[in-house]
Structure 1
Amino acid sequence: MSKERFDIHQAVTDRIVAAIEAGAGSWQMPWHRGAGGRRPVNIASGNAYQGVNILALWVEAQFFGYGSNVWGTYKQWAEAGCQVRKGAKAAHVVFYKQIAVATEDTDSGEDETETRLFARASPVFNAGQVEGYAPPVPPVVGSAEILAGIEAFVAGTGAAIEHGGSVACYIPSRDLVRMPPRETFFATPTSTATEAYYSTELHELVHWTGPKSRCDRDLAGRFRSEAYAMEELVAELGAAFLSADLGITAEPRADHAQYLAHWLTVLKADKKAIFTAASAASRAVQFLHGLQAA
């Protein structure tokens, strides 16, 4: 009997759906405090993981209580002089490999080749599952410096930010982000006032990347009636990715409870939906980072 093929799209989606359902009551999503504190990085390259792999590894870290954001394959850990513990259970990340596929030209009847992308799963282990790893000591950074850095990042995007009113939003007709005054943000049991303000501002900045002149993010063709809810998921993920990059934690958004049922419906019906949302969030984050260099 042939072995059933491992479906990486379904496996990652099931894991994320379970994590979202588990945190729904207190609105603690996988991208919030704890697992979402730092972006996952690879032990061999030092590069941060991208797209859905960020979310997948946050879910794994949250579920198993890993305190490190460093991951690698068995071979990569061995090359780093570390040993994965016996019986350790791997998480999976997805990468896409280009494969040449033979096709037939219907007009000429001649054989041709075209390149297609195929998803491949790669097992990885967290630093908390290995022996011999000494994590680097993080630099001590004061809150004022973190705030200054985020202020510079937001200014570097060139987005028009207007303070006023009581609701944070992106207004497409005016192409600006409206934020309530800073003094209206308060600490909660899960976030400081500073985290609440900046994670909200970053959320709206991800919405700001949506128009055609920027990331050209049109989800209506992909998700139809659920497009608005999925855009909110993209903004949630993008804000979490940015919060990790900029050194703050994303604030749990209880006001997004209205979208939770929509997200779960789409994710359960479409195993690639979370990949699409995470990819769109990563593109938005890369776009905003690119504006800093510009």
Structure 2
Amino acid sequence: MSSKDNKARVDIYAKITDRIVAELEKGVRPWVKPWSAAHTTGRVTRPLRHNGLPYQGINTLLLWSEAVSRGFVSPTWMTFKQSIELGGHVRKGETGATVVYASRFTRTETDDRGEEVERGIPFLKAYTVFCADQIDGLPEQYYLNPAPATDPVERIAHADAFFANTGAVIRHGGNQAYFQPALDIVQMPPFESFRDAPSYYATLGHELTHWAGSEKRLDRDLSRYHKDRASRAHEELIADLGGCFLAADLGIVPELEPRPDHASYLASWLEILKNEKRFIFAAAAHAQRAVNYLHELQPADGRAREAA
């Protein structure tokens, strides 16, 4: 990879991280914004591609933040070319949002012994997308208002089934929520102690993100969680993101104000983000893997319904 290409990658990481830092410095977690009062008229969803497939990982955060800051209603995003292919056109003067595509390619190199070896080279590419709200002439379905939220009882029942299907041991009692790796259990305060049902399920999603990362499952390194402040802040960011991703996937609309025991992490996240430009990318990727893992534990027919 040339030094020019490497600099471009660094600039992408820095640009996106700096934007998130600016939000955190205002006391706002940008990945929580979609649950503000203005965004509860319809079902909360992930940002969607032009073909209806949801964005994942860091792109979810970027487009959620962009939609709220600019007042967009449609969850659908597409490139300039895709809008033309669908018969639409981006209105003059509109500016797009940055999303990224991460992958790797294989390169053959010669090692110290003179033998050829295959080496995987990661790369990151940024491109621009526009919200359907910025585009005229698209097919009618791209302009439909968000569907009314489904019955809360039905939606929460679905969340109950989702968490039960994971097989996690969930115990209730006390006034703290946490995952205990030694016992492999999730401890939750009593359901009735939460201000509302969505807050309970959002907190449970946060803790199940920790649970999914245990050595028995995705094997994230949790060994220094109680020993090192930076390690703890990193893991809590993963769980915070994972809880938000799950809430969107399950149609739960909690207010998601920072928990008192997590408010102190904002300062830690800011400190790390300012020094490690790839920190948020890694955290979002880990969170996405945890959420994917929890979805994979669902019965096949349940996964089909979620994808519908």
**Interval containing the TM-score (normalised by the shorter chain):** 0.7 to 0.9
Distance in 2 between the 1:35 and 1:15 partners?
20
Partner of 1:289: 295
Residue 12 (str. 1) matches residue 16 (str. 2): yes
Q: Against the structure 1 CA distance between its residues 119 and 5, is the aligned structure 2 distance closer, same or farther, given a 3 Å change threshold?
A: closer
Distance in 2 between the 1:172 and 1:69 partners?
37
Residue 237 (str. 1) matches residue 244 (str. 2): no
Distance in 2 between the 1:113 and 1:288 partners?
33
Partner of 1:30: 30
Q: Would the aligned equivalents of 1:85 and 1:130 in 2 still touch at CA under 8 Å?
A: yes
Alignment of 1:133-212 (within 5 A): 133=138, 134-136=142-144, 138=147, 141-186=150-195, 193-212=196-215
Structure 1 position 97, deviation (Å): 4.0
Partner of 1:189: none
Q: Would the aligned equivalents of 2:156 and 2:198 in 1 still touch at CA under 8 Å?
A: no
CA displacement 1:22-48 (0-9 Å, x = unmatched): 2x1xxx4212243684211101x3211
Alignment of 1:1-294 (within 5 A): 5=8, 7-22=11-26, 24=27, 28-34=28-34, 37-43=44-50, 45-108=51-114, 114-133=119-138, 134-136=142-144, 138=147, 141-186=150-195, 193-218=196-221, 225-250=229-254, 251-255=256-260, 256-293=262-299
Partner of 2:40: none
Structure 1 stretches lacking a partner, 5+ long = 187-192
- The alignment partner of 1:18 has SS state of helix
Q: Against the structure 1 CA distance between its residues 10 and 35, is the aligned structure 2 distance closer, same or farther, given a 3 Å change threshold?
A: farther
Instruction: Tell me the amino acid that sits aligned with residue 189 of structure 2.
Output: P
Q: Would the aligned equivalents of 1:33 and 1:249 in 2 still touch at CA under 8 Å?
A: no
Instruction: Tell me the amino acid that sits aligned with residue 182 of structure 2.
Output: S
Distance in 1 between the 2:33 and 2:111 partners?
53
Distance in 1 between the 2:299 and 2:137 partners?
37
Q: Would the aligned equivalents of 1:230 and 1:263 in 2 still touch at CA under 8 Å?
A: yes
Q: Would the aligned equivalents of 2:214 and 2:222 in 1 still touch at CA under 8 Å?
A: no
CA displacement 1:150-194 (0-9 Å, x = unmatched): 0000101011111111111112222111111111112xxxxxx12
- Percent identity at matched positions? 43
- The alignment partner of 1:42 has SS state of coil
Instruction: Tell me the amino acid that sits aligned with residue 242 of structure 1.
Output: L
Distance in 2 between the 1:228 and 1:88 partners?
41
Q: Against the structure 1 CA distance between its residues 165 and 292, is the aligned structure 2 distance closer, same or farther, given a 3 Å change threshold?
A: same
Q: Would the aligned equivalents of 2:80 and 2:90 in 1 still touch at CA under 8 Å?
A: yes
Structure 1 position 286, deviation (Å): 0.2
Instruction: Tell me the amino acid that sits aligned with residue 164 of structure 1.
Output: G
Structure 1 position 200, deviation (Å): 0.8
Q: TM-score, normalised by structure 2?
A: 0.83
Distance in 2 between the 1:18 and 1:66 partners?
20
Distance in 2 between the 1:112 and 1:182 partners?
55
Structure 1 position 103, deviation (Å): 2.7
Q: TM-score, normalised by structure 1?
A: 0.87
Structure 1 position 206, deviation (Å): 0.8
Distance in 2 between the 1:220 and 1:9 partners?
27
Q: Against the structure 1 CA distance between its residues 240 and 201, is the aligned structure 2 distance closer, same or farther, given a 3 Å change threshold?
A: same
Distance in 2 between the 1:167 and 1:97 partners?
39
Q: Against the structure 1 CA distance between its residues 287 and 9, is the aligned structure 2 distance closer, same or farther, given a 3 Å change threshold?
A: same
Structure 1 position 105, deviation (Å): 2.5
Q: Would the aligned equivalents of 1:94 and 1:121 in 2 still touch at CA under 8 Å?
A: yes
Q: Which moved more, 1:164-173 or 1:144-153?
A: 164-173
Structure 1 position 62, deviation (Å): 2.1
Distance in 2 between the 1:280 and 1:147 partners?
26
